[in-house]
Each structure stands twice: as structure tokens, then as C-alpha cells.
Amino acid sequence: MSSSSESIYETLKGSHEYKITGYSLAKDILGVGKSMTSGRFTAGGSDWVIDFYPGGDLKANEEYISVYVKLVSPAEVVRASFELKLLDQSGGGKDGFCRSSTCLKTFSLNSGSASWYVC
């Protein structure tokens, strides 16, 4: 009698583009601690939103923007690698980007969100 088994691990991929038109106006109107939120999107089999604070999430971060990637689907635990890129609307940055960063984070609904701060 013979038997066999197999374990397969696969990476699920996805992407989402969140475009903000009128960033400077939004920063003036919202100020510190107020965010705008992307529409809910699915990437890698889980549902997410992006919270964007043009004036920073806290007073101590008012010279920066704050970006939070948030898990919103009821998955127990999700380990995700994500890359965030900010496009320079003036086109002055290298390849049109003023900042790019890649992060690896374990998400759960109880752990909140991953944050990414940019000058």
C-alpha cells in the first residue's frame, strides 16, 4: 500500500491604484488627523482600504503625509508584502516618483493597520 501527499504554498498577487486629485486643496481642508479613504479593493484574496492623511495622522507628523494600508476582510491573519509609490504630479521626481517603499507585515483585524510615513 502506498500513499502520497503534497503541500503547496502560492503567492496571491494584486494591485490597486488610488489617485487623489486636488491633493494640495485636500491637505488645506483636512489638516492634521483627518483622512481620505480609498474604495474597498481586493488584492491577494483579501479586502483592503488605504487611509491617506495629507496633513499627517498626528500633530507630531504634520510635516509628513501618513498612509495606512488596512485589512478589512474578516480573514484571521494575512501576511502581505506591499509596495507604495507616490507619484509626483509635477513630474519632477525620478521616473515620476517622489517616494517608493516596500513593506512586509502580518495583518489581522485586531492588529490595526500597517503605516507608512513619507516626507
Q: Is the pTM of this model over 0.75?
A: no
Domain that holds residue 47: 30-118
- The answer to whether residue 84 is domain-embedded is yes
User: pLDDT of 20-40, one tens digit each?
Assistant: 888 888 888 998 999 999 999
User: What CATH code is carried by the domain that includes residue 108?
Assistant: 2.60.210.10
Q: Would you state the pLDDT for residue 119?
A: 37
**Is the pLDDT score of 113 beyond 60?**
no
- The answer to whether residue 106 is domain-embedded is yes
- The answer to whether residue 23 is domain-embedded is no
Separation between Cα atoms, residue 107 and residue 2, nearest integer Å: 40
